[in-house]
């Protein structure tokens, strides 16, 4: 039974240690709050931010043009008001946090100006980067900075298992610090738990991106939206253990070729290799099916691959990839939807906020523009952190969910085997293309799977079981959203094999 006598209190509780969680913690602390940041991560590279390559978009003084690119990439589905919040706050947030507070050394030209780069569907060079390992170069100094802050505690290797709710208000979480859970009560709780890469076999996310925040919030009754829009990156290494080949490479001149050596993107979209990501991902998959292989040719880069993209070049060398042509295939990359939030990150539940990839701000609509995810995490993290602080409101200690830790003979490898089944279902039926009949079949499999997992989470608090519970809840929500949307838009591409031929 969860022990509420041995509880903790925080003004603001942040769950997750990517850029959005760090920004929320920083801004709440700046407003005078005592902040506790819990993270499952044991190392910075357990957060997706650390894996982000291309960079962070700015507006370079032209918010209108960035807004137009975001709306176009989203196929007109992004929420213009949310995009305004992003573009109007982008440059100040970058200046304040990344340049002045953290002093990130973004790449510069020989003349000492920022070396802005460009990625697919951007009409201008406006992306700040540190070679193509930008996330690492932002997150690590950010975490070091938070560690020195006297109002912020970062607690690693600690998972939130359940939200504590009472009469529609969220009062904190039960963490896995005790065998039957430990209650942490907070004035406000901010979810920044990242994405869902662990729901698919091939992903550019860390292995433990199990949709925790989305599942916990949805189970507590929060509204979620746009979950069918799962973005697949077109250029991940095609072999086992995929890694990202940043869109910045195409932005700087690399091109896609099929097995016959032909460039094909102009046959699919007027912007060719720099078309919106969903278009390129489907084209790559089609060409792979028709010709057997697609490669990213880096010999056409305007700059030297080895010297300009050292981290990617090193990964290629480590994997034994030789030459200028790197085999690529689409790979799960980002969830455009999530927990529905307003312009300050407020969810539909009182005192619960969500920021970063687990949140749906409306900025991405059905398809996200490259290098806007770090920016969205930064902007909404800062806004939510500041908005969440109410120093007059004491955290209340209410009854916490009753977690047990009995021993119901959990079969060995239970979580691993169920997770493989879940991934296979998502790969086959909720990938780049969705057939309504297959989505219905996937929902049935996922419902059964969730039932099997629930039987154990009722009696055990093991983290991997809760992660599996969260993955299966989030997978079911994605399947439901996909089944309710018959229209192909952006990342949600509906094929209907049973439809009558025209
Ligand atoms: C990339 O570097 O291609 C990824 C950038 C992003 O997803 O925003």
For ligand 1, atom 1, which residue shows the shortest CA distance? 246
Please name which of 91, 158, 165 lies closest in space to residue 128, comparing C-alpha atoms.
91
Q: Identify the band that residue 92 occupies on the pLDDT scale cut at 50, 70 and 90.
A: very high
Report d(CA 493, CA 462) in Å as an integer. Answer: 36
Counting ligand 1 atoms within 8 A of each CB, the residue from 74, 119, 122, 232 with the most, and so the one to mutate, is 119
pLDDT tens string 302-344? 888 999 899 999 999 999 999 999 999 999 999 999 999 999 9
Contacts 24+ apart (CB under 8 A), 75-79: 75/276, 75/365, 75/366, 75/367, 75/489, 75/490, 76/365, 77/365, 77/366, 77/367, 77/489, 77/490, 78/362, 78/363, 78/364, 78/365, 79/361, 79/362, 79/363, 79/365
Q: Ligand 1 center to residue 191 CA distance, Å?
A: 22
Question: Quick check: 428 pLDDT over 60?
Answer: yes
Question: Quick check: 285 pLDDT over 90?
Answer: yes
Confirm if 212 and 470 have CB atoms less than 8 A apart: yes
Helix (H) or strand (E) holding 496: none
Average pLDDT of the segment spanning 96-112: 97
Q: State the alpha helices, DSSP H only, in 401-462.
A: 414-429, 436-457
Q: Ligand 1 center to residue 207 CA distance, Å?
A: 18
- pLDDT at position 408 is 67
Report d(CA 415, CA 410) in Å as an integer. Answer: 9
Per DSSP bridges, beta strands 3-15 and 35-38 are parallel
Question: Quick check: 395 pLDDT over 90?
Answer: no
Counting ligand 1 atoms within 8 A of each CB, the residue from 53, 252, 331, 333 with the most, and so the one to mutate, is 53
Q: Ligand 1 center to residue 402 CA distance, Å?
A: 41
Q: Ligand 1 center to residue 304 CA distance, Å?
A: 20
The reply to whether 277 belongs to the active site is: yes
Q: Identify the band that residue 396 occupies on the pLDDT scale cut at 50, 70 and 90.
A: confident
Report the nearest atom of ligand 1 relative to the CA of 369.
8
Quote the DSSP letter at residue 404.
-
Counting ligand 1 atoms within 8 A of each CB, the residue from 69, 133, 236, 248 with the most, and so the one to mutate, is 248
| pLDDT cut 70: percent of the chain above it | 97
Question: Quick check: 226 pLDDT over 80?
Answer: yes
Q: Ligand 1 center to residue 370 CA distance, Å?
A: 5
Q: Identify the band that residue 199 occupies on the pLDDT scale cut at 50, 70 and 90.
A: very high
Q: Choose, from 257, 277, 368, 460, the residue flagged as catalytic.
A: 277
Report d(CA 285, CA 487) in Å as an integer. Answer: 20
Q: Taking CB atoms and a 6 Å cutoff, what residues make up the pocket around ligand 1?
A: 53-54, 244, 246-248, 370-371, 373
Helix (H) or strand (E) holding 290: helix 277-291
Report the nearest atom of ligand 1 relative to the CA of 333.
7
**103: its two tokens:** 């002093």
Describe the chain by its helix, strand, coil percentages, rounded to 5: 40, 20, 40
Q: Identify the band that residue 476 occupies on the pLDDT scale cut at 50, 70 and 90.
A: very high
Confirm if 200 and 426 have CB atoms less than 8 A apart: yes
């Amino acid at each position: 039974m969860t022990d509420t006598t041995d509880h903790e209190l925080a003004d603001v509780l942040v769950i997750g240690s990517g850029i959005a969680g760090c920004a929320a913690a920083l801004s709440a602390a700046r407003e005078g709050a005592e902040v506790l940041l819990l993270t499952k991560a044991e190392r910075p590279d357990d957060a997706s931010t650390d894996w982000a390559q291309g960079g962070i978009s700015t507006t370079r003084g032209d918010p209108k043009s960035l807004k137009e690119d975001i709306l176009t990439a989203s196929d007109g589905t992004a929420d213009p008001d949310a995009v305004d919040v992003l573009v109007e706050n982008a440059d100040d947030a970058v200046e304040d946090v990344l340049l002045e507070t953290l002093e990130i050394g973004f790449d510069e030209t020989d003349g000492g100006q920022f070396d802005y780069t460009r990625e697919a569907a951007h009409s201008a060079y406006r992306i700040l980067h540190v070679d193509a390992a930008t996330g690492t170069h932002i997150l690590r100094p950010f975490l070091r900075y938070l560690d020195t802050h006297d109002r912020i505690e970062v607690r690693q290797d600690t998972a939130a298992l359940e939200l504590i709710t009472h009469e529609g208000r969220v009062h904190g979480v039960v963490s896995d610090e005790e065998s039957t859970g430990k209650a942490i009560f907070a004035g406000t709780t901010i979810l920044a738990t990242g994405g869902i890469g662990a729901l698919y076999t091939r992903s550019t996310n860390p292995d433990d991106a199990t949709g925790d925040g989305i599942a916990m919030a949805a189970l507590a009754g929060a509204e979620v939206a746009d979950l069918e829009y799962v973005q697949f990156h077109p250029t991940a290494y095609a072999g086992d253990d995929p890694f990202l080949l940043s869109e910045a490479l195409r932005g700087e001149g690399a091109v896609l070729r099929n097995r016959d050596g032909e460039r094909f993107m102009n046959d699919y979209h007027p912007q060719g290799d720099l078309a919106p990501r969903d278009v390129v991902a489907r084209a790559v998959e089609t060409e792979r099916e028709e010709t057997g292989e697609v490669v990213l040719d880096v010999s056409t880069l305007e700059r030297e691959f080895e010297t300009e993209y050292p981290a990617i070049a090193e990964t290629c060398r480590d994997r034994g990839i030789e030459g200028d042509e790197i085999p690529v295939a689409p790979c799960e990359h980002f969830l455009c939807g999530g927990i529905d939030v307003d312009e300050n990150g407020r969810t539909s539940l009182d005192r619960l906020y969500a920021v970063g990839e687990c949140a749906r701000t409306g900025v991405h609509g059905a398809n996200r523009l490259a290098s806007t995810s770090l920016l969205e995490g930064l902007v909404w993290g800062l806004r939510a952190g500041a908005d969440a602080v109410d120093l007059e409101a004491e955290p209340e200690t209410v009854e916490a969910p009753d977690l047990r830790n009995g021993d119901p003979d959990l079969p060995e490898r239970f979580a691993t085997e169920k997770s493989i089944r879940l991934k296979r279902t998502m790969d086959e039926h909720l990938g780049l293309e969705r057939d309504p009949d297959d989505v219905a079949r996937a929902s049935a499999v996922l419902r059964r799977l969730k039932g099997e997992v629930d039987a154990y989470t009722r009696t055990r608090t093991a983290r991997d079981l809760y992660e599996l519970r969260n993955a299966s809840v989030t997978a079911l929500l994605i399947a439901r959203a996909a089944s309710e949307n018959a229209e192909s838009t952006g990342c949600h591409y509906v094929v209907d094999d049973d439809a009558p031929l025209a």
